[in-house]
């Protein structure tokens, strides 16, 4: 088997991606030595690990952005201004059921 016939993983698919099924097909045909197969699998694992790390960093960044947005909303829009119709309805129903007299402005 001539190693020159087998392209390294990084050059075989442009961005260094080769599907596992293609790799297994090549192994089944006997066109690739086991050492090279192990090297390619290791490259794939390292690449996937890097992608997972990048995804983790992006999720943390989005979480920080979400916290900042929530802080801005709390500062600019106090909670009592966001009472929905449902919470007001529940409040009035509770007053009716409990018989709490409403304070009247005079």
Does the structure show a pLDDT above 60 at 61? yes
Token pair recorded at residue 80:
């009592």
Domain annotation covers residue 70: yes
Domain annotation covers residue 35: yes
The pLDDT score that the predictor gives to residue 12 is 46
3-state class (DSSP) for residue 103: coil
Domain annotation covers residue 18: yes
Domain annotation covers residue 49: yes
Domain annotation covers residue 92: no
Domain annotation covers residue 105: no
Domain annotation covers residue 106: no
Q: How many structural domains is the chain composed of?
A: 1
pTM over 0.75: no
Domain annotation covers residue 87: no
Burial of 32 by CB count in 10 Å (0-12 exposed, 13-18 middle, 19+ buried)?
Answer: buried
Which residue segment(s) compose the domain that 8 sits in? Answer: 3-77
Residues 25-42 have pLDDT tens digits of 777 887 777 788 788 889
Residues 71-80 have pLDDT tens digits of 887 777 666 6
20 vs 59, higher pLDDT: 59
Does the structure show a pLDDT above 90 at 46? yes
The pLDDT score that the predictor gives to residue 39 is 87
Contact between 37 and 23 under an 8 Å Cβ cutoff? The reply is yes
What is the residue-averaged pLDDT of the chain? 74
| DSSP letters for 4-29 | GGSPPHHHHSSSS---HHHHHHHHHH
Token pair recorded at residue 6:
């087998």
């Amino acid at each position: 088997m001539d190693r020159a016939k087998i392209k390294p993983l990084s050059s075989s698919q442009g961005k260094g991606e080769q599907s596992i099924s293609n790799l297994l097909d090549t192994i089944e045909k006997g066109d690739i030595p086991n050492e090279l197969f192990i090297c390619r699998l290791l490259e794939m694992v390292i690449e996937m690990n890097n992608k997972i790390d990048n995804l983790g960093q992006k999720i943390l960044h989005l979480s920080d952005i979400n916290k900042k947005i929530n802080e801005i909303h709390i500062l600019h829009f106090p909670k009592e201004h966001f009472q929905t119709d449902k919470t007001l309805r529940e409040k009035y129903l509770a007053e009716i059921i409990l018989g709490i007299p409403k304070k009247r402005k005079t």
